[in-house]
């Protein structure tokens, strides 16, 4: 069969990895796909850099539209990132009848509905395995591997930078700022780390997973996003003493009231496999009604792991390129005319368990006041410990784990507790999930 010609937009970290993997494993890939897959055109603003990578084995241009419109290109790979230029190029490629492979989670989470609709109209595929979990084939698992299941929930470590920071904080007893510096030193965090540490990147990825799991449109704007920058060493240590690890999880769950879509630091029992995922690795736990809990683990970022997903998509698209479009796996796992309109719940409507920590004056009656307020808000306590933060302290830390409670009620109780004269500095609240 005739080779598949790929046009590559962006030959930076992931693009360079894709060039590398596709060339290095060309033989193995052809043995699998049944035909050669080769990058014949590359577009990059840094044209000299692009030339130095490609070494004459593909046509290089600084004008990406040359690639999206080239008659000799079957599949366009978008690895530029960002929302604006990337969006124009992806839509231009679709308009010109090209299949698209992209790693761009920000683009899909915010403009995915529009992009998939355009692709649908032109009978082309938009593949995006690399958008979530780097090289972990989690998109394929959700779209195909678990297709027998009614998915109940997903909980994932889907941002390696935050997971590295949390691992460092726990392992070495570092403060957040010191752990962030270490991550930056190692190249795991950018100079402006906001997207990673404030949960935005994770929320992009979770939005995609949620759409695939439940057959709903992408609704990034409705995601609740809370990062790790306010976590303290003390909370990580207290959680540890209670048998929990704190992880930044993206959680999406189908409930009777609607779909939960939330990213936040989460206490997880240390016995769970996902609690033991350390450093920049990612892991996604998926609970299906038939299969039960399943977990997918691997490198969530990096040149070669992400390229692994990009190239797997190229093989998939290659296989389906002649297939009847009706028989392809739908972009969002469910047939586009069969999407559901289940609403995304506000965080106030979420019901989960909580870790609550407050620093209080060490005198009689305080605990009675606190527990009374919790009881008034229908919050029942599962476990409680009292800690002395330092020698001769006149204050103690009270840490409570609650049973299932409604977030709205927890907010109300926290506000009332913070007003107690014996309580200093408000209440620290971290959500807790059993993940069973």
280 scored as a contact of a second copy (CB under 8 A)? no
**Does 144 interact with a second copy (rule: CB under 8 A)?**
yes
d(CA 197, CA 263): 11
Residue among 10, 16, 17, 112 that touches a second copy (CB under 8 A): 17
- Given the complex with a second copy, which of 194 and 434 has the nearer CB atom? 434
Q: Which residue has the tokens 């907010």?
A: 411
Residue 77 lies near a second copy (rule: CB under 8 A): no
Asked if residue 8 binds a second copy (CB under 8 A), the reply is no
Active-site residue flag, 205? yes
| Sign of the C-alpha dihedral computed for residues 163, 426, 409 and 362 taken in this order | positive
CB 62, min distance to a second copy, A: 27
C-alpha 122/C-alpha 338 separation (Å) is 19
How many CB atoms within 10 Å of residue 265?
23
Stretch that binds a second copy, among 49-57, 180-188, 327-335, 404-412 (CB under 8 A): 327-335
CB 128: neighbour CB atoms within 10 A? 26
- Is the CB of 52 or the CB of 335 nearer to a second copy? 335
- Closer residue to a second copy in complex, CB, 44/316: 316
140 in contact with a second copy (CB under 8 A): yes
Residue 357: strand pairing partners: 399, 428
Binding segment for a second copy (CB under 8 A), chosen from 134-142, 246-254, 367-375, 418-426, is: 134-142
Find the shortest distance in angstroms from Cβ 327 to a second copy: 5
> Rounded to whole angstroms, how far apart are CA atoms 218 and 209?
9
Contact status: 256 vs a second copy (CB under 8 A): no
Phi, psi of 421 (to 5 degrees): -60, -30
The residue assigned the tokens 């049944």 is 34
Q: Does 299 interact with a second copy (rule: CB under 8 A)?
A: yes
Give the strand order in the sheet containing 59-61.
59-61, 37-43, 4-9, 75-78, 99-102, 126-127
- Selected binder of a second copy within 65, 96, 233, 319 (CB under 8 A): 319
* Span from 3-11, 227-235, 246-254, 307-315 in contact with a second copy (CB under 8 A): 307-315
Q: Does 15 bind a second copy (CB under 8 A)?
A: no
- In this chain, which of 80, 206, 309, 405 binds a second copy, going by CB under 8 A? 309
**Residue pair 360/395 in contact by the 8 Å Cβ criterion:** yes
Tokens for 422?
A: 């014996």
Q: How far is the CB of 172 from a second copy (least distance, A)?
A: 16
Asked whether the beta carbons of 169 and 299 are under 8 A apart, the reply is no
Choosing from 25, 113, 219, 411, the residue that interacts with a second copy (CB under 8 A) is 25
Distance CA 201, CA 331 (A): 21
Instruction: Tell me the three state secondary structure of residue 411.
Output: helix
Query: Does residue 149 bind a second copy (CB under 8 A)?
Result: yes
How near is the Cβ of 297 to a second copy at its closest, in Å? Answer: 4
Residues 320, 311: Cα–Cα separation, whole Å: 14
Near a second copy in 160-219, by CB under 8 A: 215
Retrieve residue 37's tokens.
């897959």
- Phi, psi values for residue 149, rounded to 5°: -95, 150
Instruction: Give SS3 for 216.
Output: coil
Tokens 């408000």 correspond to what residue?
A: 426
Positive or negative, the CA dihedral 128, 134, 135, 141 is negative
Interface with a second copy includes 298 (CB under 8 A)?
A: yes
Binding piece for a second copy, criterion CB under 8 A, among 43-51, 170-178, 244-252, 296-304: 296-304
Q: Which of 333, 345, 373, 427 binds a second copy (CB under 8 A)?
A: 333
Nearest Cα residue to 18 out of 6, 34, 30: 6
227, 325, 275: which is closest to 433 by C-alpha? 275
Q: Which of 303, 304, 16, 277 is nearest to 160 (CA)?
A: 277
Q: Which of 23, 276, 380, 434 binds a second copy (CB under 8 A)?
A: 276
Q: Which of 89, 216 has the CB closer to a second copy?
A: 216
Q: Please pick, among 98, 140, 205, 287, the residue that the annotation labels catalytic.
A: 205
In the complex, what is the shortest distance from the CB of residue 4 to a second copy, in angstroms, rounded to a whole number?
12
> d(Cα 149, Cα 91) in Å, to the nearest integer?
32
For a second copy, the binding residue among 45, 121, 150, 419 (CB under 8 A) is: 150
Question: Applying CB under 8 A, does 31 fall inside the site for a second copy?
Answer: yes
Active centre residues (catalytic):
205
Residues in the site for a second copy, rule: CB under 8 A?
Answer: 1, 17, 21-22, 24-25, 28-34, 129, 134-137, 140-141, 144-150, 215, 273, 276-277, 283, 288-299, 304-305, 307-312, 314-316, 319-324, 326-330, 333-335, 338
């Amino acid at each position: 069969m005739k080779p598949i010609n790929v046009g590559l937009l962006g030959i930076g970290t992931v693009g360079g990895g894709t060039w590398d993997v596709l060339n290095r494993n060309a033989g193995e890939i052809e043995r699998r796909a049944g035909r050669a897959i080769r990058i014949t055109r590359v577009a990059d603003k840094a044209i000299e850099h692009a030339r130095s990578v490609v070494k004459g084995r593909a046509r290089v241009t600084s004008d990406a539209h040359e690639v999206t419109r080239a008659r000799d290109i079957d599949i366009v790979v978008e690895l530029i990132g960002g929302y604006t230029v990337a969006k124009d190029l992806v839509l231009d490629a679709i308009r010109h009848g090209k299949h698209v492979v992209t790693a761009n989670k920000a683009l899909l989470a915010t403009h995915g509905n529009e992009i998939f609709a355009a692709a649908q109209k032109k009978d082309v595929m938009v593949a995006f395995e690399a958008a979530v979990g780097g090289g972990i084939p989690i998109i394929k698992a959700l779209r195909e591997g678990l297709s027998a299941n009614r998915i109940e929930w997903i909980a994932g470590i889907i941002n390696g930078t935050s997971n590295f920071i949390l691992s460092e904080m726990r392992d070495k007893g570092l403060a957040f700022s010191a752990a962030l510096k270490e991550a930056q030193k190692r190249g795991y965090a950018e100079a402006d780390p906001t997207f990673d540490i404030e949960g935005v990147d994770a929320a992009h990825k979770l939005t995609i997973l949620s759409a695939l799991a439940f057959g709903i449109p992408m609704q990034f704007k409705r995601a609740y996003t809370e990062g790790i920058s306010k976590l303290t060493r003390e909370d990580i240590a207290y959680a540890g003493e209670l048998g929990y690890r704190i992880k930044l999880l993206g959680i999406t769950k189908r409930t009777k009231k609607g779909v939960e879509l939330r990213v936040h630091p989460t206490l997880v029992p240390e016995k769970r496999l996902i609690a033991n995922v350390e450093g920049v690795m990612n892991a996604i736990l998926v609970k299906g009604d038939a299969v039960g809990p399943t977990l997918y683990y691997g490198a969530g970022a990096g040149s070669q792991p992400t390229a692994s997903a990009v190239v797997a998509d190229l093989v998939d698209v290659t296989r389906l390129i002649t297939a009847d479009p009706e028989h392809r796996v739908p972009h969002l796992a469910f047939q586009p005319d069969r999407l559901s309109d289940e609403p995304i719940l506000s965080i106030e409507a979420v019901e989960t368990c909580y870790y609550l920590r407050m620093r209080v004056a060490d005198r009689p009656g305080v605990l009675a006041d606190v527990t009374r307020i919790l009881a008034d808000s229908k919050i029942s306590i599962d476990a409680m410990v009292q800690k002395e933060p330092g020698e001769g302290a006149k204050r103690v830390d009270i840490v409570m784990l609650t049973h299932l409670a409604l977030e709205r009620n927890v907010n109300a109780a926290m506000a009332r507790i913070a007003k107690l004269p014996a309580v200093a500095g408000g209440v620290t609240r971290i959500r807790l999930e059993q993940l069973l």
